Amino acid sequence: MRKSINKVLFGIGCMGMLFAVAACGKKEGPASNAPEVTEAPTMTPEPTATPEPTATPKPTVTPKPTAVPTRKPVKIEDALIPNVYTSSQKDFGGTIEHIEYKSKKYHTEEQEETTKYAYVYLPPNYDETKQYNVLYLMHGRGGNEAEWRFDEDSCKVKKIMDSLAYYGEIEPFIVVTPNGRTGGGEDSFYTFGQELRNDLIPYIDANYATYAEYDENGYDLTAAREHRAMAGFSMGGMQTVNVGLCESLDIMAYFGAFAAAPTSYDSTKIASLLENFSEEHEVGYFYSICGTEDPQAYWSAKNASEGLASKTDRLTDVKNFMWHQVPGTHSEHISHLGFYNFAQIAFRGTPLEMSYIKDEAIENGFTFGTVMVRGHVHNKTYGDMLKNEFQIVTAANEMKAYSLLDQMASQKSEDGMPVMKYREADEMMKFAQENGLKVRGHVLVWDNYMCDWFFREGYTNNGAYVDEETMKARLKYYIDEVVTHFETEFPGVVYCWDVVNEAVGDGNDYKSDDPRHVRHSRYGAENLFYTHVGPEYVEFSFACAKETVEKLQAQNPEVSIDLYYNDYNTFLGGKREGVIALVESINSYVKNEDGSYKKLCDGIGMQSYIGGYGQQAGCMNDNDIKKIEQAIRMFHDLGVKVHVTEMSVRNFDKTQVEKHAKFYGKLFEMYKRINEEEVLLSNVSIWGITDNPNMSKNDYSYAMNGPYCGLFTQDCVRKDAYYEALKALKK
């Protein structure tokens, strides 16, 4: 039973207009379309997926809010709060209660008992059976618990909270506005931390639905620290810095200082005091804002905030700290703008606008990558996206054999071995190296579009095909030279190789008695590797690649290169079973000296082109997510790593972009979930990365991806699909 409360109820606000926060991403440089990948298709057409059954209509929810938009990322405003967020919401508003609680005059030696007052904002549809986060919002020097006007119908903070909740921008939370003095004059502002810790927080937790934890040992304030925040304007900003961040980090995690008063600690002292707290008491976020024309607080706020992150490892710019300077004076403009921004940051950390899928992916056990072509090195817009958004890049075509092999130079080779040209691939490797990106080597052996002359005498177009022994020598030499070149010239940049690509057939292109389903032909044309190297060319290629990696590791123990088998449609039954049998065959092909089998294949790459091939039917089918999960688990059970290497969530219809975004969210929810107890998936690389609304239906990429497949627009700006995936990982 909750204690009785002396309280006064205030009314519910009225209706506001629809508004969707902008800012899906930032664009640098002139708009330009990312170069198309136009060479060499990497898969055969998929069978048309069965369209999803029509969902059973759901009953209408009553009352129905006016056109509530999809939740958007935090938009850090630099000037004015959008009017819609300062309007009342009809039939959707929180309530205000006026409370009194017992405390002490902590600024005095006697510390006699006193009665204190505060206002409490309870969010719309407040439910005592749920749990809510709590923000303690402090007033300025001349104010008291009523300064934020919770006793007035026109209270802007209430309207902001109601509107943010109405439009789904925040998870609704409780706001408490106490009197920041412990009972006396100006000096009593500085002892408020004792009242906060000893009296106010325990009272709020005992009387409201918070995350407080009680047990037989009593009440532990630290247990719910990540569910508490403190913010304030002027003197309240000082208290947020001095009393909150520097004294109370063990019992709360989020802090917002709006025009922090002149007695605020400077950045050096803040950094020093943060060291008093255990590393487990992390700063969820510290947001500091001040008007640049503020004669009272600008220099104190700046001294407290500017360069703070460089003085302590407890704070990192953008990730959990922001110093925000905006035009303005010491006024409600700054206090309310600060509150609007901080209300969206509190309890969820880094604003989505400033968060990255690549960072959240690492937290969930996998790296995040995408495709690039040589032209991207010279395309600033796309190049900046690669540098900022990804850890991994894969060359679309430039590292394939048909791009590297030099026919004229090979014909002049004195030892009869092939000669390679690396200029274009090296240019891409240099870009990756200079920008801290790792590269997936793609691909050493692929039958599609392979140079026929590579298999002929003298490397001519019409010479006789060489015998199997000669062909194996050529292939072994090629693999060794290519892997060695990139590791030697760009040490540590290539972290894995797709050794063989798409060797498993689709039904009528492999022998019925071969459980590996290794294709002998593609579209009726013979697989030259199968014919001239032999039916076990896949296993042989892996043995060659492994030998090269071991040679490099003998020369330098720090060399780390994993070897992958890569294929499309791996989540469909027939292809999946063939891949499993092939990987088992690869890893039982060579024996160690002790008689055990040498693990040649370290992992499986799942290309994951998802949805109807060339048409909308079958796109965004939730059953595909289940199939992908099943395949990941089955591949992991082989004792190998699993990567998603060429993912594209196909979408051919502009009207389906919202459904596309939601599907992305569900897909990444699955990626997160399967890694919760053990890492089953260690990389996701997107190839359907940017939209191209003007793409012709005759374009190869149209059927592969669709014009609206991207996480980014054609100008490399984040779409809702990006934020849905990001939110799924941050949950």
> Can you list the domains of the chain with their CATH numbers?
83-354 (3.40.50.1820), 366-730 (3.20.20.80)
pLDDT value at residue 235 = 97
Vertex 302 angle, CA 299 and 304, to 5°: 110
CB 243 within 8 A of CB 335: no
- C-alpha distances in angstroms, 666 versus 537, 622, 686, 728? 38, 8, 16, 7
Query: Of 163-172, 255-264, 597-606, which range is least confident?
Result: 163-172
Residue 376 has pLDDT above 80, yes or no: yes
CB 585 within 8 A of CB 599: no
pLDDT value at residue 23 = 31
Which H/E stretch holds residue 673? helix 657-674
What 3-state class would DSSP assign to 718? strand
Strands 683-686 and 521-522: unpaired
| Total residues found in the chain within this entry | 731
Q: How far apart are CA 152 and CA 10, in angstroms?
A: 8
- pLDDT band of residue 507 (cuts 50, 70, 90) is confident
Q: H helices of 556-621, where?
A: 573-586
- C-alpha distances in angstroms, 470 versus 30, 458, 532, 535? 52, 12, 9, 16
pLDDT value at residue 183 = 80
Q: How far apart are CA 702 and CA 714, in angstroms?
A: 14
Name 34's bridge partners: none
pLDDT value at residue 352 = 76
Q: How far apart are CA 338 and CA 350, in angstroms?
A: 16
Instruction: Express each pLDDT in 122-160 by its tens digit.
Output: 999 999 999 999 999 999 999 999 999 998 988 999 999
Q: How far apart are CA 135 and CA 702, in angstroms?
A: 49
Query: Of 182-191, 550-559, 629-638, which range is least confident?
Result: 182-191
pLDDT (average), residues 646-657: 96
pLDDT value at residue 67 = 35
- pLDDT band of residue 168 (cuts 50, 70, 90) is confident
What value does the mean pLDDT of the chain take? 89
Query: Of 29-38, 359-368, 463-472, which range is least confident?
Result: 29-38
Q: What type of residue sits at position 124? A: P
Instruction: Express each pLDDT in 391-406 by its tens digit.
Output: 999 999 999 999 999 9
pLDDT (average), residues 634-658: 97
Residue 625 has pLDDT above 50, yes or no: yes
pLDDT (average), residues 12-29: 30
pLDDT value at residue 216 = 60
Residue position matching structure tokens 């969930």: 364
Query: Of 150-154, 188-192, 244-248, 302-306, which range is least confident?
Result: 150-154
Name 176's bridge partners: 120, 136
- C-alpha distances in angstroms, 434 versus 351, 373, 387, 427, 490? 28, 16, 10, 11, 10
Query: Of 64-73, 164-173, 377-386, 579-588, which range is least confident?
Result: 64-73
- pLDDT band of residue 353 (cuts 50, 70, 90) is confident
Residue position matching structure tokens 């990756």: 432
Q: What type of residue sits at position 129? A: T
Query: Of 57-61, 238-242, 361-365, 712-716, which range is least confident?
Result: 57-61
Comparison of pLDDT for 617 and 2, the residue scoring more:
617
Closest C-alpha to 261, from 301, 291, 308: 301
- At residue 728, what are phi and psi to the nearest 5 degrees? -60, -40
Q: What type of residue sits at position 514? A: D
Comparison of pLDDT for 249 and 89, the residue scoring more:
249
- pLDDT band of residue 34 (cuts 50, 70, 90) is very low
Residue 37 has pLDDT above 80, yes or no: no
Instruction: Express each pLDDT in 202-221 by its tens digit.
Output: 999 999 999 997 666 667 89
- pLDDT band of residue 234 (cuts 50, 70, 90) is very high
Q: How far apart are CA 528 and CA 650, in angstroms?
A: 32
pLDDT value at residue 79 = 86
Q: How far apart are CA 563 and CA 604, in angstroms?
A: 9
Output the six-digit token pair for 632: 């990941």
Cβ partners under 8 Å of residue 250, min gap 6: 221, 222, 225, 277, 278, 281
Q: What type of residue sits at position 643? A: H
pLDDT value at residue 51 = 36
Cβ partners under 8 Å of residue 475, min gap 6: 445, 529, 533, 537, 540, 541, 544
What is the chain's percent helix, strand, coil content, to nearest 5?
Answer: 35, 20, 50
Instruction: Express each pLDDT in 665-721 by its tens digit.
Output: 999 999 999 999 999 999 999 999 999 999 999 998 999 999 999 999 999 999 999
Instruction: Express each pLDDT in 77-93 by its tens digit.
Output: 888 999 999 998 888 99
Four-residue CA torsion sign, 666, 672, 677, 683: positive
- At residue 417, what are phi and psi to the nearest 5 degrees? -95, 155
Cβ partners under 8 Å of residue 400, min gap 6: 40, 442, 443, 446, 449
DSSP state of 33: P
pLDDT value at residue 218 = 66
Q: How far apart are CA 410 and CA 419, in angstroms?
A: 5
CB 365 within 8 A of CB 683: no
Whether residue 63 has a cis bond before it, omega within 30° of 0? yes
pLDDT value at residue 681 = 98
- pLDDT band of residue 348 (cuts 50, 70, 90) is confident
Share of the chain above pLDDT 90, in %: 83
Query: Of 65-69, 197-201, 548-552, which range is least confident?
Result: 65-69
Share of the chain above pLDDT 70, in %: 89
Q: What type of residue sits at position 704? A: M
pLDDT (average), residues 516-539: 97
- pLDDT band of residue 430 (cuts 50, 70, 90) is very high
- pLDDT band of residue 184 (cuts 50, 70, 90) is confident
Cβ partners under 8 Å of residue 382, min gap 6: 32, 34, 35, 372, 376, 690, 716
pLDDT value at residue 186 = 80
Query: Of 164-173, 391-400, 516-525, which range is least confident?
Result: 164-173
pLDDT value at residue 427 = 98
pLDDT value at residue 73 = 62
Query: Of 59-63, 304-308, 591-595, 614-618, which range is least confident?
Result: 59-63
Output the six-digit token pair for 268: 């050096």
Residue position matching structure tokens 């001095």: 242
Residue 19 has pLDDT above 90, yes or no: no
pLDDT value at residue 355 = 86
